[in-house]
């Protein structure tokens, strides 16, 4: 089968608005059309084989091309393609998935509300958590605290909870009663403090803000265990336990947005387990289906779900596709494969230590100011001066250059500003880690050469 690429690019430019793109620039350049995936590799329409060190968009945890997921979808579509969970009904895969998630998530986070994406899960959490306080006669306890540069999706609540300035600038966000504190990013912000001290100091910004607003006004704190989209900000290990202590002290619900960290990314099933804290509420998406089909879930602990069930009356919230049986069947098959094939253990024991070693070697490159990594999630911070924790004057140009060079070398890395981000499928092998290293080193060399010109 031959594909007329220029025809596809012409149609794309004429009719397709791309998310998070300069669409005019892209139309001129022409989009890249991907046609096939297998394991850790994807192929584009021109026949280039690319090592996908980003797992699509942090999501293809079990790798591409597993026929079992397609078969699970096909079986469920043929048997019962759709039924809703509104009319006092639901379907078998929906129930089984809720129970499976309750088993996997830590502590007493036992109750799933299904939606179609991480963004919708966070919208659901905003509404249901505010409702949780309201039905307990505390309607004024409705403020969510998030973090500047956090990412919680693109719907109205998701983008408001997130702290991306460019997103707030489009569409009149954030909505009222959302506050943001500075994120923990030692590289830029740590000064002379050691990382552990800095982690405590960064966490105490939450306490300061709660006291400023009044604890009786603050409903919840939301954070990604490791901040992904902004550039894989890995907090010091002191950060999350201190955040948890502060949330408990002021009875502020702790929401872990596990959309990236969940399902093995850190080497544990969830980021909260890696950092040793217990969330009250969790946001799940991406790896829940390894990206094979859209699905998100808001997960609540016994306390929150109990109040919502017992004193909330009718829950006035839901989507046509909440708990879609085909998506649930695919998620179940994905989780079955992850468990049966011990994919999280493979990531933690076989890959993470080796990847960390090779990542640290990349950190030796003269262009790299910091090589940070946890589990299978990392970043290389490209810097103008290796001896100093600082940034390029015009942020983002060098990162984009390096990303484009890496692509030419057959390697997909994402760039946020000048951070080169890593998030490969969890099934990556040591040989593929070596390939990743070689291609990344070569790309850093070529980037440095270009800069030298
Ligand atoms: C991707 C992401 C979301 C949004 O999920 P979508 O499925 O894109 O709506 C929310 N939170 C985090 C941490 C994410 O990385």
> Which of ligand 1's atoms lies nearest the C-alpha of 227?
13
Look at residue 332 and tell me whether its pLDDT is greater than 80. Answer: yes
If you write DSSP's letter for every residue of 194-213 in order, what string do you get? -HHHHHHHHHHHHHHHHHHH
Residues with Cβ < 8 Å from 57, sequence gap 6 or more? 286, 291
Q: Is residue 76 part of a domain?
A: yes
The two beta strands, 419-422 and 414-416, are antiparallel
Residues with Cβ < 8 Å from 7, sequence gap 6 or more? none
- In angstroms, what CA-CA distances link 54 with 265, 270, 421, 443? 11, 18, 7, 16
Residue 61 confidence (pLDDT):
98
Cα(269) to ligand 1 centroid in Å equals 17
Same domain assignment for residues 322 and 199? yes
Same domain assignment for residues 54 and 159? no
Q: Which of 259, 294, 321 to mutate to test the pocket of ligand 1 (most atoms within 8 A of CB)?
A: 259
* Domain extent at residue 43: 32-65+342-452
Beta-ladder partners of 39 = 64
Q: Is residue 14 part of a domain?
A: no
56 CB-side CA count, 13 A = 23
Phi, psi of 422 (to 5 degrees): -125, 130
Contact 350, 426 (CB under 8 A): no
Same domain assignment for residues 191 and 234? yes
From 338, 319, 324, 291, select the one nearest 76 (Cα to Cα): 324
Residue 453 confidence (pLDDT):
83
What tokens does 32 get? 């890249």
Tens of pLDDT, residue by residue over 53-67, are 999 999 999 999 999
CATH number for the domain that contains residue 367? 3.90.1150.10
CA angle (19 as vertex; 14, 21 as ends), nearest 5: 80
Same domain assignment for residues 57 and 147? no
Confidence of residue 188 (pLDDT cuts 50, 70, 90): very high
Nearest CA owner, ligand 1 atom 14: 259
Cα(119) to ligand 1 centroid in Å equals 6
Q: Is residue 195 part of a domain?
A: yes
Same domain assignment for residues 290 and 372? no
H helix intervals, 214-342: 239-249, 271-275, 302-311, 325-340
The two beta strands, 143-147 and 218-223, are parallel
Beta-ladder partners of 339 = none
Q: Which of 117, 164, 255 to mutate to test the pocket of ligand 1 (most atoms within 8 A of CB)?
A: 117
> Which of ligand 1's atoms lies nearest the C-alpha of 296?
7
Same domain assignment for residues 331 and 346? no
The structural domain count of the chain equals: 2
If you write DSSP's letter for every residue of 138-171 in order, what string do you get? -TT--EEEEETT----SSHHHHHHS--HHHHTTT
Residue 162 confidence (pLDDT):
98
Would you say the pTM of this structure is higher than 0.85? yes
Q: Which of 183, 231, 255, 285 to mutate to test the pocket of ligand 1 (most atoms within 8 A of CB)?
A: 285
- In angstroms, what CA-CA distances link 388 with 188, 368, 369, 378? 10, 11, 7, 20
% helix, strand, coil for the chain, step of 5: 45, 15, 40
Residues 191-197, mean pLDDT to the nearest whole number:
97
Cα(137) to ligand 1 centroid in Å equals 31
Same domain assignment for residues 322 and 442? no
Q: Is residue 367 part of a domain?
A: yes
Same domain assignment for residues 224 and 94? yes
Cα(145) to ligand 1 centroid in Å equals 17
What tokens does 270 get? 């969830």
Cα(286) to ligand 1 centroid in Å equals 7
CATH number for the domain that contains residue 164? 3.40.640.10
Same domain assignment for residues 420 and 302? no
Strands (E), 375-449: 377-382, 411-412, 414-416, 419-422
- Coil vs helix vs strand at 325: helix
What tokens does 401 get? 């250059």
Distance CA 212, CA 430 (A): 50
Same domain assignment for residues 335 and 349? no
Contact 246, 207 (CB under 8 A): yes
Residue 413 confidence (pLDDT):
97
Q: Which of 54, 119, 284 to mutate to test the pocket of ligand 1 (most atoms within 8 A of CB)?
A: 119
Phi, psi of 263 (to 5 degrees): 65, 45
Residue 311 confidence (pLDDT):
81
H helix intervals, 383-429: 397-408
Residue 378 confidence (pLDDT):
98
Distance CA 83, CA 78 (A): 13
Beta-ladder partners of 254 = 221
Last residue of a domain, one of 340, 367, 387: 340
The helix (H) or strand (E) run that includes residue 368 is strand 368-374
Burial 132-164 (b: 16+ CB within 10 A, else e): bbeeeeeeebbbbbbbebbbbbbbbbbbbbbbb
Residues with CB under 6 A from ligand 1: 117-119, 151-153, 224, 228-229, 257, 259-260, 285-286, 296
DSSP state of 261: T
Q: Is residue 279 part of a domain?
A: yes
From 290-294, 327-331, 398-402, 449-453, the region with the lowest mean pLDDT: 449-453
Same domain assignment for residues 41 and 123? no
Residues 152-165, mean pLDDT to the nearest whole number:
98
Tens of pLDDT, residue by residue over 269-320, are 999 999 999 999 999 999 999 999 999 999 999 999 999 999 868 999 999 9
Q: Is residue 9 part of a domain?
A: no
From 381, 68, 88, select the one nearest 232 (Cα to Cα): 381
- Coil vs helix vs strand at 236: coil
DSSP state of 39: B
Tens of pLDDT, residue by residue over 72-115, are 999 999 999 999 999 999 999 999 999 999 999 999 999 999 99
Nearest CA owner, ligand 1 atom 11: 152
Cα Dmax for the chain: 68
**Which residue's structure tokens are 């002290």?**
249
Distance CA 311, CA 308 (A): 6
Same domain assignment for residues 83 and 210? yes
Last residue of a domain, one of 295, 311, 340: 340
Residue 1 confidence (pLDDT):
59
Tens of pLDDT, residue by residue over 402-445, are 999 999 999 999 999 999 999 999 999 999 999 999 999 999 99
Q: Is residue 359 part of a domain?
A: yes
Last residue of a domain, one of 340, 368, 400: 340
Residue 2 confidence (pLDDT):
73
Q: Is residue 73 part of a domain?
A: yes
> Which of ligand 1's atoms lies nearest the C-alpha of 260?
15
């Amino acid at each position: 089968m031959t594909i007329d690429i220029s025809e596809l690019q012409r149609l794309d430019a004429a009719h397709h608005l791309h998310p998070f793109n300069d669409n005019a620039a892209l139309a001129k350049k022409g989009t890249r059309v991907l046609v096939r995936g297998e394991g850790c590799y994807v192929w584009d329409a021109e026949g280039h084989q690319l090592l996908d060190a980003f797992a699509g968009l942090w999501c293809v945890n079990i790798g591409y091309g597993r026929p079992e997921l397609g078969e699970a979808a096909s079986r469920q579509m043929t048997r019962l393609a759709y039924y809703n969970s509104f009319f006092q009904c639901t379907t078998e895969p929906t129930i089984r998935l809720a129970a499976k998630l309750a088993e996997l998530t830590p502590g007493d986070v036992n109750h799933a509300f299904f939606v179609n994406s991480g963004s919708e899960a966070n919208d659901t959490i905003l509404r249901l958590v505010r409702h949780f306080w309201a039905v307990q006669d505390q309607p004024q306890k409705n403020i969510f605290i998030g973090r500047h540069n956090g990412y919680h999706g693109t719907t109205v609540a998701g983008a408001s909870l997130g702290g991306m300035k460019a997103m707030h600038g489009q569409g009149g966000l954030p909505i009222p009663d959302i506050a943001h504190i500075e994120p923990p990013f030692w590289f830029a912000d740590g000064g002379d403090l050691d990382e552990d001290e800095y982690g405590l100091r960064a966490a105490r910004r939450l306490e300061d803000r709660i006291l400023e607003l009044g604890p009786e006004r603050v409903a919840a704190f939301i954070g990604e265990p490791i901040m992904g989209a902004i550039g894989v900000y890995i907090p010091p290990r002191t950060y999350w336990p201190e955040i948890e202590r502060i949330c408990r002290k002021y009875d502020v619900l702790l929401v872990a947005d596990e959309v990236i960290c969940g399902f093995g990314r850190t080497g544990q099933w969830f980021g909260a387990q890696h950092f040793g804290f217990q969330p009250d509420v969790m946001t799940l998406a991406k790896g829940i289906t390894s990206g094979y089909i859209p699905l998100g879930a808001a997960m609540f602990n016994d306390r929150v779900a109990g109040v919502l069930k017992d004193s909330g009356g009718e829950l006035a919230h839901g989507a046509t596709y909440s708990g879609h049986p085909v998506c649930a069947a695919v998620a179940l098959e994905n989780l079955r494969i992850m468990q049966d094939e011990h994919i999280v253990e493979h990531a933690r024991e076989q890959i993470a230590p080796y990847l960390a070693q090779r990542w640290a070697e990349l950190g030796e490159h003269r262009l790299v100011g910091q090589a940070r990594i946890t589990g299978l999630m990392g970043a290389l911070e490209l810097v103008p001066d290796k001896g100093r924790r600082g940034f390029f004057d015009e942020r983002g140009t060098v990162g984009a250059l390096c990303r484009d060079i890496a692509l030419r070398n057959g390697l997909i890395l994402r760039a946020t500003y000048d951070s080169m981000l890593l998030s490969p499928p969890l099934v990556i092998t040591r040989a593929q880690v070596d390939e990743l290293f070689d291609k990344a080193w070569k790309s850093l060399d070529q980037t440095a050469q270009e800069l030298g010109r």
